Amino acid sequence: MRRTSSSRLCSPIPTVQYPIHLMCLWLAVSRSGFYDWRGRPQSATARRRNELKKLIATEFADSDEASGYRRVHAALARRGVVVGKELVRFLMRELGLQPCQPRPWRHNLTDSDPDAAPIPDLVQRDFTAEAPGQKMVGVVCGVLDDFSVVPPDPEMKLSLLSAGNQQKALIGKLLETSPQVAILHEPTQGVDIGARHQIFQRLRATAGEGLAIAIVSNEYEDLSHLCHRVLVFRNGAVVAELTGTELTAGRLIEASFRTSDASE
């Protein structure tokens, strides 16, 4: 095959001049109508728009090219020119007038103290990266991998994930902030068995690192497998406290549904 040179590919398309009678035939107009249109004087609307363009360009230049269509319209109104805001906006767009509005310089009334101590880093995370957006994407991908979120796409909306993956992503986002205390309300509600075990493993590992976790739940099996100590509330008061070998699902059910007469 013969390769075509780049100069031939980039050459301009030659213009073709067709006769007037052929173009009028193709456009379904008469030649007399075409010549009448070509020799017709400029309409009053076109003349007024040309005058408005000159006034708009003058007002725009007088404002150091900083006025938008609203300010230009107000300036024309002060001069007694009757014109609508949208027409001013349309004509400025035709003229290619784009306002430049620099941010104003503001005075700083606070003098920094050179002897002041630096602000403590409560998050204790390294956010420096070699390229823009690299560190945050890396953190998100790490959370998705740790909790086995499917699919592990950092750009996917949370609402498109399943209930179990949403729950794992939210818990991972919470634990990524390195909190000292975490309060979880029904952390395994509506998730499947596999996601529940993954959440359990992550919470146990995080608790082993020193994080205090308080769980509010009605799932007796979850509480007996996760917690070291469980307080049973009824009518706003603590009615039982279970720890150690007493902390079983059966004892939790018994303490939750025990009546005051039976306890006495």
pLDDT in tens, 125-150: 666 667 766 555 656 776 777 777 78
pLDDT of 26 above 70: yes
CB-CB contact of 165 with 153 (8 Å):
no
pLDDT at 8: 47
CB-CB contact of 171 with 215 (8 Å):
no
Mean pLDDT of 75-92: 90
pLDDT of 6 above 50: no
| pLDDT tens, position by position, 198-229 | 788 888 888 888 888 898 888 888 888 888 89
Residues with Cβ < 8 Å from 144, sequence gap 6 or more?
A: 152, 153, 154, 169, 172
pLDDT of 53 above 90: yes
Residue keyed to tokens 């995080």:
206
pLDDT at 127: 62
pLDDT of 55 above 90: yes
Residue keyed to tokens 């909190």:
179
Structural tokens at position 161 = 């994930």
- Cα(191)–Cα(163) distance, integer angstroms: 6
| pLDDT tens, position by position, 72-83 | 999 999 989 888
pLDDT at 54: 92
User: Among 8-22, 35-49, 150-164, 234-248, which stretch is predicted with the lowest mean pLDDT?
Assistant: 8-22
User: Among 15-24, 106-115, 149-158, which stretch is predicted with the lowest mean pLDDT?
Assistant: 106-115
Confidence at 262, pLDDT banded by 50, 70, 90: very low
173 or 109, higher pLDDT = 173
Query: How many other C-beta atoms lie within 10 A of the C-beta of residue 135?
Result: 15
Mean pLDDT of 227-252: 88
Mean pLDDT of 12-34: 83
Q: Dihedral sign, CA of 173, 177, 180, 181?
A: negative
pLDDT at 102: 67
- Cα(208)–Cα(227) distance, integer angstroms: 12
* Single pTM value for the model: 0.42
CB-CB contact of 185 with 216 (8 Å):
yes
Q: Dihedral sign, CA of 119, 123, 125, 127?
A: negative
pLDDT at 167: 81
